[in-house]
Amino acid sequence: MNTLKKLQNLNNSGKSYIIYKSKNGFDLYTNFSKKIILNNNNIIRFLKKKNRKNKLKNTDLYIGFFGYELLNNLIGVKVPKQRTNKFPKGIFYKPEKKINLRKDFLCNLSKPFNKKNDFKININREIYSKIFKRFKKKIKSGETYQIKICTKYKKISKIEPLDFFCRLSKANLAPEAFMIKDKNYSIVSCSPENLITKKGSLITTKPIAGTVKKTKKMNKLRALNYFKKNIKENKEHNMIVDMERNDLSRICKKGSVKLVRTKVVEEYKDLFHYVSLIKGKLNSKVASIDIIKAMMPGGSVIGCPKINTLNLLNNQEKENRNIYTGSFGFIKFNGDMRFNIIIRSILNYRNVSEISVASGVVVDSSAKHEFEENYIKAKALIDLY
């Protein structure tokens, strides 16, 4: 039986599985022997769990996600009571089977569909502008230098996550794309941003800060010129890079944290991003929990400085972020790990789909521009329905 048929059979079987973008295609994980639902009481125990092995099988890992609220709690930041659909704060799985899929593999599974955009936004333009002005005052008073306002799009729908993931991969494949199909929920994501890649003592992070819409006139070279000349985009990018360098410096050897790629443009379906790459060499006694606490939640989707900004956001937002700006990835039994930042994602739970997006407010920002940027980011996912 070929691999395509096996995947179709797996999808029809009702068994849970995960697909994660790899360097040469996709990795499919299934036959889960453990499912660990995380909360504020057991996350530290999970992260300190001793599973270390010198000889690893390709399934000697836990794969899953940390939600936004869980990561706040882990670093001592309180999230006030918010509206919630009671989705789990984090879930990790122990797979017993891993299958490699070709790069073009999933595109062969996509089906025709009819577009019907009936999502409802939780913050309209008027409310967004009021929040924007409030945060502008916080910036001018020095309480934060940059802050990300989250908007959420929702609709009642029952989706077939593999179909959505196939079409999304075909139209807007991103380096950190993933999907989870479980019995009572699914996540489909085209996340572009890697937060942690750890191999041995080496660690990298790839901050993305800066977005411009792709048009017939806006090609990759013009996007680079736009970013270089745009004071707001440059300020935002510099602040996030400095913050993530600082995050890495807390867990890395002195002098080892370096910018290895600075302010390059990456191209996606509807937009261009401004991207840098930072690397460091970890201190000898740094454990998994130290890395997670230092790097999460990812600064590029929160703002700067991180703790002050998280407190401002949490006191403003009335609805739980769930997975949005949390992290998905894996921790191997030898301590190596890879995690993204969960953005450009659909959470489908209890037959409700939600798409969350955010754009940055700095002193030079425009409320109109940032509100529209949020919609550009959501559009690639909304177009799947």
Look up the CATH number of the domain holding residue 240: 3.60.120.10
Q: What residues make up the domain containing 254?
A: 3-382
**Dist. CA 381–CA 385, nearest whole Å:** 8
pLDDT score at 129 = 93
pLDDT score at 375 = 87
Q: What is the number of structural domains in the chain?
A: 1
Find out whether 174 and 192 touch, Cβ atoms under 8 Å: yes
CB count, 10 Å around CB of 238? 15
Which stretches of the chain drop beneath a pLDDT of 70?
A: 1, 52-54, 104-117
pTM for the whole structure: 0.93
Residue 44, by phi and psi: left (phi above 0), alpha (psi -120 to 50) or beta? Answer: alpha
**Count of helices and strands (H, E) across the chain:** 10, 18
**Dist. CA 279–CA 197, nearest whole Å:** 9
- Here the contacts of 112-121 (C-beta below 8 Å, separation 24 or greater) are 113/163, 113/167, 113/384, 113/385, 115/383, 115/385, 116/385, 117/382, 117/383, 117/385, 118/155, 119/153, 119/154, 119/155, 119/355, 119/382, 119/385, 120/153, 120/154, 120/155, 121/151, 121/152, 121/153
| Helix segments in 158-287, DSSP class H | 161-172, 220-229, 231-249
pLDDT score at 58 = 93
CB count, 10 Å around CB of 184? 10
If you compute the radius of gyration of the chain from its CA atoms, what whole number of angstroms results? 20
Can you read off the two tokens belonging to residue 181? 């199909």
H or E stretch at 26 = strand 25-38
Amino acid at 281: K
pLDDT score at 110 = 56
Find out whether 357 and 151 touch, Cβ atoms under 8 Å: yes
pLDDT score at 8 = 85
Find out whether 142 and 308 touch, Cβ atoms under 8 Å: no
